[in-house]
Structures are given as C-alpha cells and as structure tokens.
Amino acid sequence: MPDEAPPMAALIEGRLDRLGLSPEEASRQAGLPADFLERLAAGRVPPPRGQKLVKLAEVLATSVSYLVGLDPDTPPPPEVLEEEQGSLGLLAGDEEALLRAYRRLEMPQKAAVVLVVRSMAGPEPEPDAVPAKRVARRPA
C-alpha cells in the first residue's frame, strides 16, 4: 500500500498545470530524477529539501514557502532549506529512520515532536561548560 501523497504534491501539480509543464520536464529542470514528482505524488519519496527544493520552486515559478504550504510571502522555515544530511551518509541507522518518520509529519506535528524531544533531552550545556581534558603528569 503506497504512502499518502504529501500536500506539496498537490501544490506542485497545480503549478505544473498552470505552466503547461510535464512532471518529467520539471524534475529534469530542477536537477531531480525524471520520475521524482511521480514518486512524490505516490508518497514513495520525501519532499525535496535544501537546494533541490529551491531549484524546484524556481522551475515552477513560485516560492519555497508556497510549496511547503505557507503564504508565498512568508519566509520558509529554515529546516526546509537545510540539506539532507542523511543522504550524505552522516547519520546512524536509527537517526536516519527517525528522520524519515519525522519527514512524513505535517508542520504542526513536527513542531510538537521537537518540543517533546527537547524537553526529554534537558537543557543544552553552555559552550563554556565543556569539561577540560585531564592530562596525566609523569612523576619527576
């Protein structure tokens, strides 16, 4: 059973219709695989982020904010402009799984998850509070 299409897919489809672009051509112009928008609409890939999202917005002659479901004149949330670290192989397996699940959430759910995780993790240490390394001294 395929996942549910993200809201972004419907917004992209509307822009494609308005511009007379095929999903394949828009994907290619944005530097994405030719079948990316089809897979996005089927809920088989997460929405693009970072420069891929910026480029897709340019190809569709709209704003990143519009594509993520916000007022087009509002600045986009910083997290959608961050590059996907998981695709760079920088995350452990459990972190990657958590990130994939997080990406399937809507913005209000994401905000709630962040609040819960921050409260569970406790306060972040102050930069000056990092313990100094102990150096073993040799007897003279």
Residue 87, pLDDT > 60, answer: no
Average pLDDT of the chain is 81
CB of 96 within 8 A of CB of 105? no
Domain boundaries, the chain: 1-83, 89-121
Q: How far apart are CA 3 and CA 138, in angstroms?
A: 63
The answer to whether residue 132 scores a pLDDT higher than 80 is no
Percent of the chain with pLDDT over 70: 78
**What is the model's pTM?**
0.56
pLDDT on residue 101: 86
Is it the case that residue 115 has pLDDT exceeding 50?
Answer: yes
Q: What are phi and psi of 78, to 5 degrees?
A: -55, -30
**pLDDT value for 2:** 46
pLDDT of residue 18: 95
Residue with tokens 């459990």: 94
Q: What is the pLDDT of residues 66-80, one digit of tens each?
A: 998 888 888 887 777
1 has a pLDDT exceeding 60: no
Fold of 1-83: 434 Repressor (Amino-terminal Domain) (1.10.260)
Q: State the alpha helices, DSSP H only, in the chain.
A: 7-19, 23-29, 36-41, 50-59, 64-67, 78-81, 93-103, 107-121
